Amino acid sequence: MKKKMLWALPVLAVLLAFSCSRSAGSGDGGKTKVIFWHAMGGRNGEALEKLITAFNASQDAIEVEGQYQGNYDDAITKLRATPKGSGPDLMQLYDIGTRWAIDSGTTLKMQDFIDRDRYDISDYEPNILAYYTLDGELYSMPFNCSSPVIVYNKEALQKTGLDPQKAFATMDDCLATGRALKAAGMEAGNSFTNYSWVFEQLVSIQDQDLLDNGNGRLGRATEVIASDALLKIFTKLKTIVADPSSRNFGKGTAESKNQFATGTVGYILDSCSVYVDISAAAGGKFSVGFAPVPKVNPGDTGGVSVGGGSLWLMDNGDSKRSDAAWEFVKFVTGAQQQGEWSIGTGYLPIRKSAVELPFYQDYINNVNPELIVAIEALRNSKPSCAGSVMGVFSKARVIIENEVETMINDRSVTPQSVVDKIVSQINEEITLYNRTN
């Protein structure tokens, strides 16, 4: 009896291994199973599940399972802790995770699949693809994309008599407009958001790079080179936030967005993706308007870069699963799907033809006409304004926001000292990253 049991153990092990392999690589009915980790919760998560369901119903060879991993930082933290080959087949990462994803050795290059299949990406918005393209190769596929905008209360601005096309043209105009909104009865004319992404965009507006080596695109960044551009931003910002017309709600955008939705703040800076949520929260008390991010200096000729996230194919050593994940990527970035995704979430469609679809034209003409401001801001930006890439971006943003908060709360802190501290701290983080990766 003992001999039979001993003989059966290796057979059992083989069966268990086969069973695990099938559960990882196959779905119901022998379909190839794709595990997709994402960071879309709430309304965005519901819109994503609709796309997943539609893809699964569109064919009978692949089954995609979406698995929510928390916010962007939670998702990348979990991925970092997952051994190569045992994680998802497809991963959604925020834009600032690009350099780490490349350096990690856990991802597959999207360009290789595009080239292999001769897949035509000419319909994809070039200034959206640009962020995820390094040395002429696309590393991940943009998916949930946004651009920064001024978000303003239309009725409140109308009371000031100011032209929306000119009211936010420059940072100096923003200060004057905040004062006018306050004088017209708003509790606060503005909340000029302490959000690093906004400051990065204001560097780009000046047609300057934040980092060396082509903003980290021609090779790994080694230092911050935007001291002059940052100084101009923070000098004007200090004047704006010190003005009685302005209110500060801390780091990030969450509270400024909440306060704006109450109708007590005239304008904020945020992502174009906030339109649906803010309009719903406003409950018809006022209308939401968008204006392009202001110039820092009147003669600035730069532009903005895309924010949001992209889809990464993971290197799990199983070409069948990677090919299946690639099929899903092509599906969710199709024109029809991108139009539906944009309507459901407020993100920008990444396909040019999606904007021209009749149902999408109806949406931007009758439901969310402001979105065209964000679309045109990206389309009109120089290709050189693709945005910066570094392996310590999340840490860099914390550094920037912490130092700006200190300046806002302590009037003795000078813009120059803020720039000096930001540059030295980020450079230390970059040096450490490059040494250890």
What digits encode the pLDDT tens for the residues 53-75?
Answer: 999 999 999 999 999 999 999 99
> Do 201 and 189 fall within a single domain?
yes
> Do 37 and 160 fall within a single domain?
no
> Do 4 and 61 fall within a single domain?
no
Task: Over range 173-181, report the average pLDDT.
Answer: 98
Give the CA distances from residue 16 to residues 19, 88, 317, in Å, rounded to whole numbers and listed in that order. 5, 21, 20
Q: Is residue 372 part of a domain?
A: no
Q: Has residue 3 got a pLDDT over 70?
A: no
The residue assigned the tokens 């695990």 is 20
Residue 375: CB atoms within 10 A of its CB come to 18
> Do 121 and 223 fall within a single domain?
no
> Do 279 and 191 fall within a single domain?
yes
Q: Has residue 316 got a pLDDT over 90?
A: yes
Q: Is residue 387 part of a domain?
A: no
Signed CA dihedral, 103, 224, 171, 384: sign only: negative
Residue 265: CB atoms within 10 A of its CB come to 27
> Do 355 and 397 fall within a single domain?
no
Q: Is residue 280 part of a domain?
A: yes
210 near 146, Cβ under 8 Å? no
> Do 250 and 157 fall within a single domain?
yes
Distance CA 355, CA 399 (A): 37
φ, ψ of residue 164 in degrees (nearest 5): -55, -25
Count of the separate structural domains present in the chain: 3
121 near 409, Cβ under 8 Å? no
Task: Over range 311-326, report the average pLDDT.
Answer: 97
Q: Is residue 374 part of a domain?
A: no
> Do 126 and 261 fall within a single domain?
no
Task: Over range 98-123, report the average pLDDT.
Answer: 97
pLDDT at 257: 94
Q: Is residue 169 part of a domain?
A: yes
> Do 274 and 356 fall within a single domain?
no
Task: Over range 11-23, report the average pLDDT.
Answer: 35
271 near 146, Cβ under 8 Å? yes
306 near 378, Cβ under 8 Å? yes
Domain that holds residue 355: 31-145+307-366
Where residue 110 falls among pLDDT bands split at 50, 70, 90?
A: very high
57 near 78, Cβ under 8 Å? no
Distance CA 112, CA 105 (A): 15
CATH number for the domain spanning 124: value is 3.40.190.10
Distance CA 108, CA 95 (A): 16
Residue 435: CB atoms within 10 A of its CB come to 7
C-alpha 29 chain-centroid distance: 36
Distance CA 221, CA 218 (A): 8
Where residue 164 falls among pLDDT bands split at 50, 70, 90?
A: very high
34 near 4, Cβ under 8 Å? no
* Average pLDDT of the residues of the chain: 92
313 near 171, Cβ under 8 Å? no
Which residues are paired to 314 by β-bridges? 107
> Do 160 and 226 fall within a single domain?
yes
Nearest CA among 145, 214, 154 for reference residue 186 = 154
> Do 105 and 122 fall within a single domain?
yes
The CA radius of gyration of the chain, in Å to the nearest whole number, is: 24
Distance CA 150, CA 373 (A): 10
32 near 324, Cβ under 8 Å? yes
Q: Has residue 9 got a pLDDT over 80?
A: no
In the chain, DSSP finds a helix count (H) and a strand count (E) of: 21, 12
Signed CA dihedral, 42, 45, 49, 51: sign only: positive
For residues 352, 353, 354, 358, the Cα torsion angle rounded to the nearest 10 degrees is 140
> Do 46 and 135 fall within a single domain?
yes
Q: Is residue 229 part of a domain?
A: yes
17-26, 198-207, 259-268, 339-348 — which is least confidently predicted?
17-26
Q: Which residue has the higher pLDDT, 230 or 26?
A: 230
Task: Extract the runs of DSSP E, i.e. beta strands, from 39-193.
Answer: 62-68, 90-94, 107-108, 133-134, 137-138, 141-146, 148-153, 188-191
pLDDT at 131: 96
